[in-house]
Chains A and B, each alone.
Chain A
Amino acid sequence: MSTSLKAAAAVLLVTGAIAGQAQAGAHTASASACLITKTDTNPFFVKMREGAEAKAEELGMELKSFAGRIDGDHETQVQAIETCIADGADGILLTASDTSSIVSAVEQARDAGVLVIALDTPLDPASAADATFATDNFVAGELIGAWAAAQLGDEAENARIALLNINVSQPSVGVLRNQGFLTGFGIDTGDINRWGDETDPRIVGHDVSDGNEEGGRRAMENLLVEDPSINVVYTINEPAAAGAYQALASMNRQDDVLIVSVDGSCSGVADIQDGVIGATAQQYPLQMAALGMEAILEWAENGTKPEPTEGKDFFDTGVSLVTGDPVDGVESISIEEGMNRCWG
Chain B
Amino acid sequence: MAKSDSNSPVHESSLGSAPDAVASFEDDRAGFIKKLQHTLHLNPSMVPLIVLLLSIAVFGLLLGTRFFSPFALTLILQQVQIVGIIAAAQSLIILTAGIDLSVGATMVLSSVVMGQFTFRYGIPVPISIVCGLLCGMLCGMISGLLVSRVRLPPFIVTLGMWQIVLATNFLYSKNETIRAQDIETQASLLQFFGTKITIGGAVFTYGVVFMVLLALVLAYALKHTAWGRHVYAVGDDKEAAELSGVKTGRIILSVYMLSGLICAFAGWALIGRLGSVSPTAGQLSNIESITAVVIGGISLFGGRGSILGTLYGALIVGVFTLGLRLMGADAQWTYLLIGVLIIGAVAVDQWIRRATV
Contact = CB atoms under 8 A, between A and B. Distances in A.
Contact of A8 (B72, B78, B142): B142
A184 interface: no
Given A218-B79, A221-B79, A207 B180 contact: no
B75 interface: yes
A225 interface: yes
Interface in B146-183: 149, 164, 170-171, 174-177, 179-181
A46 to B, nearest CB: 7
Given A1-B149, A15-B171, A207-B325, A225 B181 contact: no
A225 B74 CA distance: 11
Contacts, number: 87
B179 A271 contact: yes
A41 B170 contact: yes
A111 interface: no
A213 interface: yes
Interface stretch (A100-108, A114-122, A239-247, A279-287): A239-247
A222 interface: yes
A70 B162 CA distance: 14
B281 A250 contact: no
B203 interface: yes
Interface string A78-112: 00000000000000000000000000000000000
Interface stretch (B24-32, B268-276, B295-303): B268-276
A257 interface: no
Contacts of B71: 225
A217 B273 contact: yes
Given A222-B325, A246-B180, A213 B171 contact: no
Contact of A213 (B75, B170, B274): B274
A217 B274 contact: yes
B114 to A, nearest CB: 16
B279 interface: yes
Nearest to B71: A225
B357 interface: no
A214 B278 contact: yes
Contacts of B331: 168, 208
B145 interface: yes
B15 interface: no
Interface string B322-337: 1001100011100000
B282 A225 contact: no
Contact of B274 (A4, A46, A214, A221): A214
A139 interface: no
A46 B175 contact: yes
A242 B180 contact: yes
Interface size class of A (residues with CB under 8 A): 35 or more
A8 B171 CA distance: 14
Contact of A239 (B177, B194, B273): B177
Interface in B237-255: none
Contacts of A225: 66, 71-72, 75, 322, 326
Interface in A207-237: 207-208, 212-214, 217-218, 221-222, 225-226
A249 B195 CA distance: 12
Contacts of A217: 273-274
Given A208-B331, A217-B274, A225-B326, A41 B175 contact: yes
Give the residue among B75, B138, B196, B331 with the most A Cβ atoms within 10 A: B75
A30 interface: no
Contacts of A246: 180, 273-275
A289 B105 CA distance: 31
B280 interface: yes
A92 B184 CA distance: 43
Contact of B280 (A12, A212, A276): A212
B321 to A, nearest CB: 9
A344 B175 CA distance: 10
B281 A226 contact: no
A12 B164 contact: yes
Contacts of A304: none
Nearest to B145: A1
A209 B355 CA distance: 45
Given A222-B325, A225-B326, A274 B181 contact: yes
Interface of B: 66, 71-72, 75, 78-79, 138, 142, 145, 149, 164, 170-171, 174-177, 179-181, 194, 196, 203, 273-276, 278-283, 322, 325-326, 330-332
Q: Shortest 10 CB-CB distances between A and B: which pairs?
A: A41-B175, A246-B275, A213-B274, A274-B181, A41-B170, A213-B278, A214-B281, A222-B325, A267-B179, A225-B72
12 contacts: A46-B175, A212-B280, A214-B278, A214-B281, A217-B273, A221-B79, A225-B71, A242-B275, A246-B273, A249-B275, A271-B179, A274-B181
